[in-house]
Amino acid sequence: MVVRLMLLLTAIVGVGVAAYGLFVDKSGQAIAFATAGLFVLGVSLAIAGFITGMSAISHGRAGRGGRATLLALIGGVLMIAAAGALAGAVVFAAVVLL
């Protein structure tokens, strides 16, 4: 339970830092803030998706197929969102470095 709350907190912080970098900050560090926020968001969503997928496997082995299917769907959506956030971080990092 504590791990899920910490992942939720890191996802919220990641969204906040990325939004600050994209919409509020007008200095030269705006892209760096957005990159850092998207990276933190992507990593936290990837870990949450992995944990949810493992939970789906354990529910499936216990015979709860409906709940396992729902958890697998949620885990997949979390992994897709993580891939998008990490791809955005890579693009912003390439902009900063090149």
Count of structural domains, the chain: 1
Does residue 21 lie in a domain region? Answer: yes
Q: Tell me which residue range forms the domain holding 12.
A: 6-97
Written as tens digits, the pLDDT of the chain (98 aa) is 899 899 999 999 999 999 999 999 888 888 889 999 999 999 999 999 999 999 999 999 999 999 999 999 999 999 999 999 999 999 988 988 88
Does residue 76 lie in a domain region? Answer: yes
Does residue 1 lie in a domain region? Answer: no
Q: Is 50 exposed, middle or buried (0-12, 13-18, 19+ CB in 10 A)?
A: middle
> What does the pLDDT read at residue 6?
95
Q: What pTM value is reported for the model? A: 0.90
Distance between CA atoms of residues 92 and 14, nearest Å: 15
Does residue 92 lie in a domain region? Answer: yes
Distance between CA atoms of residues 14 and 31, nearest Å: 14
